[in-house]
Structure 1
């Protein structure tokens, strides 16, 4: 039971750290917004910041997609290579049931 309590306390600490992280991001965004408002019209600053965030999100999304595709291709290549090592030559594709 003590282990369960410790695990629960650890979970609460992780949740608290997450909340603090979100608040830190929010404060950083507010700081950037206030800085943008000092050089841009007050009504334009949020729109410019939104466009910048959206552009970054799209760029990161494309980069993530490319990484995931590369990882999937590498996994397929590794599996095919391992299959060739394990599979005897007589059962290679195109040789089923044909004895020479």
Structure 2
């Protein structure tokens, strides 16, 4: 014997067919986000492998004294590092969005 909840969730073929375009759209969006996340993870991993996060420079070191072009490259690296951190933050946000999709669908 079916419960009232089971009766309420039973869909006719007509109902299911009417919902298919929406389901297709949702699945297409989820697949696109998954592909995008995978590509971004790979790019960030490659960036981190090639350019590891900079170590902190001691205040009394040559960089603090303004030793030539080393200062400008360190400044550029700081900007670069900020960009990578922002990319990682956006990736984490989109990974949370993907997890939310999974929760909604289960």
Is this a same-fold pair by TM over 0.5? no
Give the TM-score of the pair, scaled to structure 1: 0.39
Higher helix share: 1
Greater C-alpha radius of gyration = 1
- Structure with higher RCO (Cα < 8 A, 6+ apart): 2
